[in-house]
Amino acid sequence: MSFSRRSALLTGAALGVAPLSRARAQANTIRIGVLNDMSGPYRDISGPYGVACTKQAVAEFGAQGFNVEVINADHQNKPDVGAGLARQWYDQGVDLILDVPTSSVGLAVSQVAKEKNKAYINTGSATSDLTGAACQATTVHWMYDTYMLAKSTGSAMVKAGGDSWFFLTADYAFGHALERDTANFVRAAGGRVMGQVRYPFPSTSDFSSFLVQAQASRAKVIGMANAGADTINTIKQAAEFGITRRGVKLAALLMFLADVHALGLQTAQGLVLTESFYWDLNDRTRAVTRRLLPHLNGAYPNMASVANYSAALHFLKAVKDMGVAAAKASGTELVNRMKAIPCDDDAFGAGSIRVDGRKLCPSYLFEVKSPAESKGPYDYYKLLGTTPAGEAFRPLNEGGCSLVRS
Amino acid sequence: MASETTLTAIPTGVVGKQAPGIWGFNGSQLIALLVLVAALALAPFFLYPVFVMKLLCFALFACAFNLLIGYVGLMSFGHAAYFGMGGYIAGHAAKVMGLTPEISIIAGGLVGAGLGVIGGWLAIRRQGIYFAMITMALAQMVYFFCVQAPFTGGEDGIQAIPRGKLFGVISLESDMAMYWVVAVVFLFGFMAIHRIIHSPFGQVMKAIRENEPRATSLGYRTDDYKLVAFILSCGLAGVAGATKTLVFGIATLTDVHFSMSGEVVLMTLVGGLGTIFGPVVGAAVVVGMQNYLAELGAWVTVIQGGIFVACVLAFRRGIIGELGNWFKVKL
C-alpha cells in the first residue's frame, strides 16, 4: 500500500480540525429534543413513533410567531449516554427534553434538567419516584407511573369480578414494589391474595412450574409483577398451558398496545392491562389517531407515543403564553406556567398538572379481545373499567415530594 | 541480591532490548505522550467537556484492561464488575457517607482491587477460555448482587450523586473544574500503567505472555505475577468507574452489565492490543460513536459491529498498532 507518512499526517490534521463547528441556538427558535430508545427493547413502544407524534404536535400547533425545531437521539438505555446527551442538548439551546423511557435514564435526566434549569417532560419512565422523593421543579411526568398501573389493574380488576389474586413476581426491587402496591389495592377493594411465587431475575425464561403453581392456587387472576421480555414469555407460556382459556385472567402490570400487537391476539386474548390512552376510546382519540396514522408507518399510537404529542402541545401552549424569551430564561418558570394553565388535547382530554409535576389523566382497564371479536386492524381492546383522573394517581401528600407544602 | 539481578536481566533478554528514553518512553512514545497531554489541555475548549471526561474514564478503563490482555496475555471477560463496583462504591461514599471526591475515587479503586484479589485468585488457576469463563461467571455474580443489594438502588441505580468539594475545599460543580480532576486521574493512571509495564515486574509479565513455562523454568512464580497484575488492573478499573460515577452523578447497572465487559474488549481491540496508546484511541472511537451517532438511532450498534468485524479482518493490530507498523515505531 502506498501510504506515505506525510499524507497520513495531513489526513490526520484535516480530520482533527473538521468537527470544530458547533450548533448555535437561535433566539426565536424553540428546540425540543426527543430522547428515547431507537434500537432496544422500548423502540416499538415509542422510539420513532414518539418522534413522529412530537412533530405532529408541532405541525398542529402551527406558526405562532416563533419557530419550533424537533431533534431526537437514541439514549441506548444507558443512563450515562442519556445524561450526557441531555447536558449537551441543554447547553446547546434545547428548551425541552421529552420522552426518556427506562427509569434509570429518566431519573438521571431529571437531575440534569434541574441543574441546567430547563424544562423536562418524562413520558416514558414508569417510576413514581419522578414525582415523589426525586421530584424536581423542572420535571413533569406525563401519562403513567407504577402507582397508577397498580391501582387501576388492582382495584378496577376486583370491581370487574377478579377478586382472588396470585402473583408471579420477578425477584428484584421493581417486581417486589409492583407486587406490594397491587396487592394493597386488591385488598383495599375487597379482594383476596391467595399467594405469590418469586422467580429469579434476570435470566428466567421457563415459567411453566410457576404457572402451574399459580393455577393450583385456584385464584381468578394471575398478576404478573414483571416487565418486558419476562411478561411476554409468561403470556406465551400461559397460552400454551391453556390457562386463560379456562377462565383465569392474566393481569399484566406494564404492557402496551405495541406488545399486544407483537404477541398477536391468539396468544394475548383475555389478557388484562392498564393504559391511559386507546385509539378507539372516543371520537377525539379516533380523530387524533386519524391525523397521526400517515406518519406512523402502519403502527397505531399507544399511550407512550401519543403522550409525546400531548406533552409537546401543552409545552408549546405554555411557551406562547409566557413568550419565547421568558420561556428560554427559566425552566422552572416555564414548568410553573405549564402547571398553571389547563391541559386539553384530543389524546388525553382535559387535564391538569399537579404541583409535584404529576400530569393527571384517567386510567383505563382493558381486556384483550379474542381473534373472533376483533373487527379490524388494531381492534384489540375492550374497556373493563375507568379510574377518574382525580383518583388514578398517588395522593399528593403521600409521595414525599419536597415541592408539596403540607 | 542475586534474585534482583535476574529479575532485571533475564526477562529483558526474553523480550528484546529496551530503547533508551525518559521514564521508559522511547522517542516516538514521548512525542505521542506530548500530543496526548496537549490534546488533554486543549480538548475541553473545542469539544464538550462532559464528553471528554467520559472518554477519559473509558480510556483509563481500557488501559487497565489492556494491562492484563496486552501485557500478561490474560483475557478477562468480566472487567465490568470491577469498573461498575468501583462506581457504586464511589457513589455510595459520596452520596450516603458524604466523603470527598478524592476519597470516594480511592475507595472505588480499593474495592475494585479487593474484588480483584478474590477474582484473580480463583481465575489465574486456569488458562485460556477457562480463565475467561471464570472471570465472566464472577462478573455475573457481581451483577446479580448489584441487582439485589439495597445500596445499589436496583435498576434505578444510585442517582443524584454530588460531585462534592475536592479535598473539602474546591467545588467540582462546574464542568471545567471536574475536567481537570478527571484529566489528572487519567494521566496518573496512564503513567502508572506505563511505569508498571516498564518495571522489572512488567518485564516478567511480558515474559509470561510470551512463554509461561519458560518463565516458570527461569524461577518465577508466574501465578504470583499474574495475580498482582490482575489486582492492579482491577484497581485501576475501579478508579475509572469511580471517576465516571462522579462525573455523571449516577451509578447504574449499565456499568456492571456484561455488555460493558464486551465494550472494553472492543475498545482495546480497535485501538491496538499491547500498545500503550491504543486503548485511549479505541475508547475515543467507541465512545465517540455512541455519542455522535446517537442521532442515527438503531444504526449505532450496527456500525459498532461493522467496525469490530473490519478491525478483526483488516487491521488486526488495531489503529495504533497499524500506525506504529507503518511508521516503524513502537507506540
Does A73 contact B295 at a Cβ distance shorter than 8 Å? yes
Residue B172: pLDDT band by 50, 70, 90 thresholds?
A: confident
A8, A79, A174 ranked by CB distance to B154: nearest: A174
A84 and A164 within one domain: no
Assigned domain for A224 exists: yes
Percent of chain A with pLDDT over 90: 68
Whole-number mean pLDDT of chain B?
87
Q: In CATH, what number is assigned to the domain containing residue A299?
A: 3.40.50.2300
pLDDT above 50 (res A2): no
A295 and A268 within one domain: no
- B298, closest residue in chain A (CA to CA): A39
pLDDT score for B8: 40
pLDDT score for B12: 40
Residue B100: pLDDT band by 50, 70, 90 thresholds?
A: very high
A157 and A218 within one domain: yes
Does B250 contact A87 at a Cβ distance shorter than 8 Å? no
Does A85 contact B294 at a Cβ distance shorter than 8 Å? yes
Give which of A5, A37, A104 to mutate to test B binding, by max B Cβ within 10 Å: A104
A373 and A344 within one domain: no
Contacts of B101 (CB under 8 A, 6+ apart): B94, B163, B164, B165, B166, B172, B181, B246
- A104, closest residue in chain B (CA to CA): B156
- More confident position, B12 or A161: A161
A378 and A236 within one domain: yes
A332 and A375 within one domain: no
Mean pLDDT value across residues A230-246:
89
Nearest Cα to Cα of residue B259 among A86, A81, A255: A81
Assigned domain for A124 exists: yes
Does B159 contact A81 at a Cβ distance shorter than 8 Å? no
Mean pLDDT value across residues A193-205:
87
Residue A16: pLDDT band by 50, 70, 90 thresholds?
A: very low
Residue A230: pLDDT band by 50, 70, 90 thresholds?
A: confident
Report pLDDT digits (tens) over B207-259. Answer: 999 999 999 999 999 999 999 999 999 999 999 999 999 999 989 898 999 98
Q: Contact B115/B267 with Cβ under 8 angstroms? A: no
A120 and A106 within one domain: yes
A8, A76, A80 ranked by CB distance to B326: nearest: A8
Mean pLDDT value across residues B161-167:
87
- Residue B311 corresponds to which cell in the numbers above? 478491525
Where are any strands of DSSP class E within A346-388? 349-353, 359-360, 363-368, 381-387
d(CA B301, CA A366): 36
A25-34, A230-239, B208-217: which has the minimum mean pLDDT? A25-34
d(CA A54, CA A99): 10
Report pLDDT digits (tens) over A121-172. Answer: 999 998 888 999 889 999 999 989 999 999 999 998 898 889 999 999 988 8
Q: Where are the alpha helices (DSSP H) in chain B?
A: 2-15, 27-46, 49-69, 79-95, 101-123, 129-148, 175-197, 200-210, 212-217, 222-248, 258-271, 278-292, 299-313, 318-326
A111 and A43 within one domain: yes
Whether the CB of B298 is below 8 Å from some CB of chain A: the reply is yes
A183 and A58 within one domain: no
Nearest Cα to Cα of residue A221 among A159, A152, A165, A158: A165
Assigned domain for A140 exists: yes
CA distance A189 to chain B (A): 30
Whether the CB of B156 is below 8 Å from some CB of chain A: the reply is yes
d(CA A393, CA A100): 20
Percent of chain B with pLDDT over 70: 92
Nearest Cα to Cα of residue A32 among A76, A68, A82, A75: A68
Does B248 contact A83 at a Cβ distance shorter than 8 Å? yes
Does A79 contact B291 at a Cβ distance shorter than 8 Å? no
- Which one-letter amino acid corresponds to residue A263? L
d(CA B4, CA A25): 64
Residue B315: pLDDT band by 50, 70, 90 thresholds?
A: confident
Give the per-residue SS3 of A275-305.
ECCCCCCCHHHHHHHHHHHHHCCCCCCCHHH
Dmax over CA atoms of chain B, in Å, equals 61
Strands A349-353 and A343-345: antiparallel
A48, A87, A107 ranked by CB distance to B156: nearest: A107
Does B156 contact A103 at a Cβ distance shorter than 8 Å? yes
Helix axes B175-197, B200-210, angle to 10 degrees: 70
Assigned domain for A399 exists: no
pLDDT score for B1: 38
Assigned domain for A402 exists: no
Give the per-residue SS3 of A176-202.
HHHHHHHHHHHHHCCCEEEEEEEECCC
A377 and A234 within one domain: yes
CA distance A64 to chain B (A): 28
A151 and A211 within one domain: yes
Residues of chain A contacting residue B298, judged by C-beta atoms under 8 Å apart = 38-39, 43, 74
Contacts of A293 (CB under 8 A, 6+ apart): A300
A151 and A138 within one domain: no
Neighbouring-strand partners of residue A121 = A98, A140
Whole-number mean pLDDT of chain A?
89
A88, A127, A202 ranked by CB distance to B48: nearest: A88
Residue B120: pLDDT band by 50, 70, 90 thresholds?
A: very high
Residues of chain B contacting residue A202, judged by C-beta atoms under 8 Å apart = 147
C-alpha pair distances (Å), B73 with each of A59, B190, B301, B308: 58, 19, 28, 20
Does B326 contact A3 at a Cβ distance shorter than 8 Å? yes
Assigned domain for A38 exists: yes
- More confident position, A339 or B30: A339
Does A5 contact B326 at a Cβ distance shorter than 8 Å? yes
- Residue A224 corresponds to which cell in the numbers above? 404478573
* pTM as predicted: 0.82
Give the DSSP letter of residue A66: S
Could you tell me the fold of the domain covering B24-326?
ABC transporter involved in vitamin B12 uptake, BtuC (1.10.3470)
Whether the CB of A77 is below 8 Å from some CB of chain B: the reply is yes
Neighbouring-strand partners of residue A332 = none
Number of domains forming the structure of chain A:
2
CA distance B199 to chain A (A): 32
pLDDT above 80 (res B10): no
Mean pLDDT value across residues B318-331:
85
Domain that holds residue A257: 147-275+363-392
Report pLDDT digits (tens) over B62-98. Answer: 999 999 999 999 999 999 999 999 999 999 999 999 9
Residue A359: pLDDT band by 50, 70, 90 thresholds?
A: very high
